Amino acid sequence: MAWRSILVVVSVVFAVCVAVEEEEHVLTLDHTNFTDVVSNHNFIVVEFYAPWCGHCQKLAPEYEKAASVLSSHDPPIVLAKIDASDEANRGLATQYQLKGFPTIKIFRDGGKNIQEYNGPREADGIVTYIKKQSGPASPEIKSKEDAANVIDEKKIIVVGIFQELSGEKFENYTTLAEKLRADYDFAHTLDAKLLPRGEPVDKPTLRLLKPFDEFFVDFEDFEVEVMEKLIAESSIPIVTYFDKDPENSIYVSKFFNGIGAKAMLFVNFSTELDTFQSKYKDVAVLYKENGLKGLSFLLGDVEAGEGAFNYFGLKPEQAPLIIIMENDGQKYLKAHVEPDALASWLKDYKDGKLKPYVKSQPIPEVNDEPVKVVVRDTLEKMVLNSGKNVLLEFYAPWCGHCKALAPILDEVAVSFENDPNVLIAKLDATANDIRTNEFDVKGFPTLYFKSASGKLSQYNGERTKEAIIEFIQQNRDDKTAQSEADSTTSESVKTDSAKDEL
Contacts of 428 (CB under 8 A, 6+ apart): 313, 361, 375, 395, 396, 397
Nearest-angstrom CA–CA distance, 77 and 63: 13
* Whether residue 17 lies in the annotated active site: no
* Whether residue 53 lies in the annotated active site: yes
Cβ contact 77:70 at 8 Å: yes
Long-range contacts (CB closer than 8 Å, 24 or more residues apart) made by 349-356: 349/324, 350/292, 356/330, 356/331, 356/332
**Could you give the 3-state DSSP secondary structure of residue 150?**
helix
- The DSSP bridge partners found for residue 295 are 261
**Could you give the 3-state DSSP secondary structure of residue 328?**
coil
Helical H runs in 181-293? 224-234, 249-257, 269-289
Nearest-angstrom CA–CA distance, 454 and 456: 6
Nearest-angstrom CA–CA distance, 176 and 138: 10
Check 165, 201, 399, 434 and give the catalytic one.
Answer: 399
Burial zone of 127 (CB within 10 Å; 0-12 exposed, 13-18 middle, 19+ buried):
buried
Nearest-angstrom CA–CA distance, 261 and 21: 51
Residue 423 backbone class (left: φ over 0; alpha: ψ -120 to 50; beta: rest):
beta
* Whether residue 56 lies in the annotated active site: yes
**Could you give the 3-state DSSP secondary structure of residue 76?**
coil
- Cβ–Cβ contacts within 10 Å for residue 174, how many? 17
Nearest-angstrom CA–CA distance, 237 and 214: 10
Check 26, 402, 468, 472 and give the catalytic one.
Answer: 402
- The DSSP bridge partners found for residue 297 are 239, 263
Cβ contact 168:222 at 8 Å: yes
Nearest-angstrom CA–CA distance, 50 and 453: 30
Helical H runs in 351-423? 379, 400-415
Triad 431, 381, 484: Cα angle to 5°: 150
Number of H helices, E strands in the chain: 16, 20
The sign of the CA dihedral 34, 40, 42, 44 is negative
Check 53, 156, 208, 375 and give the catalytic one.
Answer: 53
Check 50, 56, 383, 468 and give the catalytic one.
Answer: 56
The catalytic residue positions are: 53, 56, 399, 402
